[in-house]
Structure 1
Amino acid sequence: MDIDFSEINYLKDPAWQDLHADYEQFLLSMTGPTVIDVSGKDQQKCRVFTTLLHGNEPSGIIAMHRYLTEVLPEDKPTTNLRFIICSVEAAASKPLFSQRFIKGGIDINRCFGRDCSFECQDVGQTGYCQRASLIEQAIREVTPEMVIDLHNSSSSGPTFAVSSVVTTETLSLASLFCQTLILSDLNMGSIMEQNFDCPFITIECGGCQDEQAHEIAFSGISQVAQCGNIGYIHQEKPVEVIYRPLRLQLKPEIKLSYAQHDEGYSGVTLKDNIECFNFGSAHQDDMIGWIDGNGLDNLQLIDKSGKNVLDQYFYARENQLVCLHNLRLFKATTNKNTAINDCLFYVVKLSSPEI
């Protein structure tokens, strides 16, 4: 697929004809990343939502389209709103919302704040960094008072927020979507790591095929659009803060399988019900999978300093992969492509954080 990475489209106060009959037709009507501006009561302020950085995470665009067609005609937002729809080509690939990024491409949410020209030029992928720069520019040009990046997990799981800081504003915004905020200091080249001089949170709305995830995204957008002051939102329920997750990853060229029992596969085999850990804890000495003769050398868990700290979280019991401590897992998935190209899951120790 030929992509014009220099293109970004702008649409202001769209009419119903622009939005089409449903979100799928609306998606297919776009020729590339699209910015939708909505005029609010206070036009001196702007709140920004980004969505579809990954083409297989539809809750954001579903919720955004519903807000624009159902709520906006009856109720003008408190401030201007800007919706930025990013990886349109990946989302529109058949079947819709099945591709994280197009074949031969790379994850754009690893391209922010980086000069990828040298790193990517040999494989013709510099365009993704160019697009990331355009998206970043589209955020900065409105000097937003907040940014929310809407995502889905590949598999079912509870909604949670992620931020690089914990403040009154980030906790307040998170409370409109969920009751858990993860403080992350990982450096992956994500949009959330960039400094926009305003509160920024990522919302993992839940599983990409879960209707409840779409509903959470819609409810959150609607509440953010109407709240008077994002720094003083009344929180009906407290938001739990979880500190500094790490990403469990396969080392390059290691094979991944899923099974109910040990089948003797090479590489790493995770239990086929690994997603269940998204809803609770993995306890000390719990077995979550199997490893071949290379043992823990199949895996890596890299901390902020670049050190592999895998043996501080897991150990090998014969050929089993076992939890060394009580752990909390996030975004565990049986989607093999996501697990191989991104990570098996995020993990934190269930102990007092080092602040």
Structure 2
Amino acid sequence: MSIDFNEINYLQDPDQEHLKSDYNQFLMSISGPTVIDISGKDQTRTRVITTLIHGNESSGLIASHRWLSALGSTSRPTTNLRFIFCSPEAASKSPRLTHRVLPGGMDLNRCFGKDIDYGYFKRAKIIEKAISEVNPEVLVDLHNTSGFSPAFSVSTAKNEMALSLTSLFCQSLVLSDIRLGALMEQDFGCESITIECGSSEDAQSHEVAFMGIEKLATLDDISCCHHKLNVDIYLKPLRLRLKPDIELSYSCIDEGRDGVTLCNNIEQHNFGVLRANQMLGWLDDNGLKNLQIIDTNGKNVIDTFFTLRDNQLVTKVDLDIFMATKNNDIAKTDCLLYMVPQNFKL
């Protein structure tokens, strides 16, 4: 599929003809990044919602379309809202809503904040401009987790607004100092937060996204919402990754495969605790040399958190786990899971 990296489309207060009858028809009707502006009661403020940075993460699309379609001609959100649908080409490729990126394409959420002006980096710049030009009050970036998981949020800073935005959607906040070129990491002069709504295969994830949008649209002051809901905070996540060209498989038994074999119930650990001495899978003769956990100093600290018991991969300390996935492509190109040592939870 050919992509026009210069393209971006704007719609102002679209009617049902533009929104189509359902989210699938709407998706197929847009050809590139699409901005939908909704006029609010207070037109001096704008809140921005981005979605479809990854084409297989459908909850933001489904929830945004549902909210837009239910908006009556006389009903208005509290402030202006700007919705940005970022990668409709990947989302619309058959089978629909199954491609994270187009074949041969790049992960758009690794292209923000770069001084590069072509391809996916250019698209990232166009999206950044569409956010900056409205001087947003907040930015909420809607995603789905790569495996089955409860919803959680990710922010780069612990402050009142990050906690409040989290509480509109869920009750777990991961404070991350990892820098990957994600949209959330950019400075738009406001609080930017990622909401991981849960698995795209779980209808509850779509509901999480919709209810959060509804609250974001109707509340006047969202800065103190977290006082109504306790928010759990997880500090300084680390990524467990394969080293380059290492084979990955999943199984319930040790089948003697090359590389790394993870237990096929790995997703059940998401937002649970892996206790010390718990097994995650099996390794070949290279053992822990198959894996890496890079800290903020660029050092591989795999030995700090994992050890071998014969050829079993075993935890050395108690760990909170999230974003563990059985999606082989994502696990190999991004990471196997994110983790936070238990003493890093507030």
TM-score, with structure 1 as normaliser: 0.95
Q: Do the aligned partners of residues 234 and 267 (structure 1) sit closer, same or farther apart at CA in structure 2, a change above 3 Å counting? A: closer
Structure 1 counterpart of 2:236, which letter?
A: R
Take 1:86 and 1:63, find their aligned partners in 2: how far apart are those partners?
A: 15
Match of 1:335 in 2: 327
Query: In structure 2, what is the equivalent of residue 212 of structure 1?
Result: 204
Pair 74,246 (structure 1): closer, same or farther in 2 beyond 3 Å: farther
Counterpart for residue 103 of structure 1 = 103
Distance 1:227 1:312 in 2: 45
SS of 1:46's partner is strand
Please state whether the residue corresponding to 2:62 is helix, strand or coil: helix
Rounded Cα–Cα distance in structure 1 between residues aligned with 2:163 and 2:101: 31
Is the partner of 1:312 in helix, strand or coil?
helix
Mind listing any 5+ residue stretches in structure 1 that lack a counterpart?
118-125
SS at 1:230's partner residue? coil
Name which of structure 1's ranges 296-305 and 180-189 shifts more when overlaid on structure 2.
296-305
Among the aligned pairs, what percent are the same residue?
53
Q: In 2, distance between residues paired with 1:104 and 1:324?
A: 38
229-238 or 266-275, which deviates more: 229-238
* Cα deviation 1:233-289 (Å, max 9, x = unaligned): 263221011101011111110000000000000000000000010141111000001
1:305 aligns with 2:297: yes
Shift of 1:307: 1.4
CA distance in 1 between partners of 2:17 and 2:54 (Å): 26
Task: Give a deviation string over 1:292-351, Cα, whole Å, max 9, x none.
Answer: 111111111111221111111111111111111111111111111111111111011001
Q: How many Å apart are 1:229 and its aligned residue?
A: 1.0
1:243 to 235, 260, 268: 235
Q: Give the CA deviation at 1:11.
A: 0.6
- State the match for 1:62 in structure 2: 62
Deviations 1:25-58 (A, max 9, x none): 0000001110000000000100000001000000
State how far apart, in whole Å, the 2-side matches of 1:105 and 1:200 are.
Answer: 25
| Corresponding residue for residue 11 of structure 2 | 11
**TM-score of the superposition, structure 2-length normalised?**
0.98
How many residue pairs are counted as aligned between the two chains?
Answer: 346
Q: What is aligned with 1:184? A: 176
User: 2:73, 2:310 → 1: CA distance?
Assistant: 62
2:101 maps to a residue whose letter is F
1:42 is matched with: 42
Matches within 5 A, 1:1-355: 1-73=1-73, 75-116=75-116, 126-233=118-225, 235-352=227-344
The AA in structure 1 aligned to 2:33 is P
From the superposition, tell whether residues 352 and 339 of structure 1 become closer, same or farther in structure 2 (CA, over 3 Å).
Answer: closer
Q: Contact (CA 8 Å) 2:236, 2:344: kept in 1 or not?
A: no
1-structure distance, mates of 2:101, 2:140? 21
Shift of 1:140: 0.2
CA distance in 2: counterparts of 1:307 and 1:207, whole angstroms: 32
Cα contact 1:227–1:233 (8 A) shared by 2: no
Matched with 1:122 is none
Q: Secondary structure at the match of 1:285?
A: coil
SS at match of 2:211: helix
TM-superposed CA distance for 1:73, in Å, is: 4.3
* Aligned-partner SS, 1:351: helix
Question: How many Å separate the matches in 1 of 2:193 and 2:215?
Answer: 15
Cα 1:292–1:246 shift into 2, 3 Å: same
**Cα-to-partner distance string for 1:138-172 (whole Å, 9 max, x where unaligned):** 00000000000000012210000000001011101
Q: CA RMSD in A?
A: 1.3
Q: Check conservation: 1:91, 1:99, Cα contact below 8 A.
A: yes
Structure 1 residues 131 and 352, CA, compared in 2 at 3 Å: closer, same or farther? closer
Give the Å deviation of 1:116: 4.2
CA distance in 1, matches of 2:247, 2:115: 31
How far has the Cα of 1:75 moved from its partner?
Answer: 2.9
User: 2-side partners of 1:268 and 1:241: how far apart?
Assistant: 31
